[in-house]
Amino acid sequence: MKITDIFKQKEKTFSFEFYPPKDEIAAVDFGINIGQLIKLDPSFVSVTYGAGGSTRSRTFDLVDYLKNRIGLNTVAHYTCVGSTKSKAMEDLRSLRAKGLQNFMLLRGDPEIGSKYGFIPCYDGFANATELVSYTREHIEDCCIGGGAYPEVHPESVDAEFDIRNLKKKVDAGCDFLITQFFFDNQRYFDFVDRAREIGITCRIIPGIIPLIKYSQLERFVNLSRASIPARFLQKLEDNRYNSEAVYKAGMDFAIDQCRDLLARGAPGIHFYTLNKSRATVEIYRTLKVR
Ligand SMILES: Cc1cc2nc3c(=O)[nH]c(=O)nc-3n(C[C@H](O)[C@H](O)[C@H](O)COP(=O)(O)OP(=O)(O)OC[C@H]3O[C@@H](n4cnc5c(N)ncnc54)[C@H](O)[C@@H]3O)c2cc1C
């Protein structure tokens, strides 16, 4: 089913993001965790496309499995990195032929350690907008999602530039947006207001990641440049050597964050699960999502 058809049935969606397991042990672990997560009956799930296109075949196998063997509404991520126009259309057509209709189209990040940042392929796409527009033109009957950044994409000169580019991306054919994770809900609501003012009308689903280990703090902040509310940060710092206390602080924070988002009108939650189930299951059950 297309994500837009799910929107017609559900005022709020609850979805999970996975990445393809890197080896056999990780695959077993993933199997156990996804077993717990699918009991929650998510509205849809999505599978990332590894940096630099590194997980291409594993992403494709996993979306095929989740959609056609497990029967989940599944979104395949795809990026511009390393993709010529013809290669991208060949890939998306092959997924379309397997019944996949939902694509999360991103510019993508280069491989970790790459010195030069994003470099478009010869005869490829310079940004996600070009990929979205080309896909709209060449792939029939599909539903397209795009990424959005409440705290501004790190390469953008400012928020105004970023939101104008986002408007172009939506105009090129995005049906919905999912945000980078954030911890300060006001940033999300201000961003949604700015998006509405500029004429973006599609759903903007907040992406949430439970921060439940002290070691995640630096990584998450570097990845998204997300601001962390001072009281939460203090709690993490105070308990940095007590992993159970950090877990509890992170869970309490994530539950309050999701409650607040939903109460103030967010159209659901997209959980970055990191292929683990415990935190997401606990949050989901506490929210009593049906
Ligand atoms: C929900 C979500 C899922 C993700 N999944 C993946 C994944 O599976 N694999 C992966 O590798 N990465 C993933 N990412 C990360 C993403 O690829 C990076 O954040 C990347 O740097 C930007 O991707 P984008 O699609 O948002 O880019 P774009 O929309 O292309 O924007 C990138 C930058 O270019 C600027 N820009 C856009 N259009 C123009 C234009 N016409 N002229 C000038 N500047 C322009 C934007 O303002 C922005 O600064 C995900 C991000 C999100 C939010």
pLDDT tens-digit map of 97-146: 999 999 999 999 877 777 778 889 999 999 999 999 999 999 999 999 99
CA-CA distance, 31 to 25, in Å (whole number)?
10
Average pLDDT score, the chain = 95
Provide DSSP, 156-224.
-SSHHHHHHHHHHHHHHT-SEEEEEE-S-HHHHHHHHHHHHHHT--SEEEEEE----STTHHHHHHHHH
Nearest CA to ligand 1 atom 6: 48
* Catalytic residue list contains 17: yes
Nearest CA to ligand 1 atom 51: 147
Taking the CA of residue 47 as reference, the ligand 1 atom at the shortest distance is 8
Query: Which residue among the candidates 17, 90, 111, 155 is catalytic per the annotation?
Result: 17
pLDDT of 289: 67
pLDDT of 178: 98
pLDDT of 74 over the 80 cut = yes
pLDDT of 224 over the 90 cut = no
pLDDT of 264 over the 60 cut = yes
Taking the CA of residue 155 as reference, the ligand 1 atom at the shortest distance is 49
| Angle of helix 185-198 versus helix 243-263 axis, rounded to 10 | 30
Taking the CA of residue 78 as reference, the ligand 1 atom at the shortest distance is 8
In percent, how much of the chain has pLDDT > 70? 99
pLDDT (mean) for 92-99: 98
Which amino acids bring their CB within 6 angstroms of ligand 1? 48-49, 51, 77, 79, 104, 106-109, 127-129, 147, 153, 155-156, 161-162, 165, 168-169, 178, 180, 207
Single pTM value for the model? 0.97
In percent, how much of the chain has pLDDT > 90? 89
CA-CA distance, 210 to 253, in Å (whole number)?
8
pLDDT of 225: 85
Closest CA to 59 of 39, 43, 45, 40: 45
* One CATH from 3.20.20.70, 3.50.50.60, 3.20.20.220, 3.20.20.80 for 3-287: 3.20.20.220
pLDDT tens-digit map of 152-187: 999 999 999 999 999 999 999 999 999 999 999 999
Enumerate residues 6+ apart whose C-beta is below 8 A from 234. none
Pocket test for ligand 1, best of 165, 174, 274 (most atoms within 8 A of CB): 165
pLDDT tens-digit map of 15-29: 999 999 999 999 999
pLDDT tens-digit map of 190-204: 999 999 999 999 999
pLDDT of 290: 56
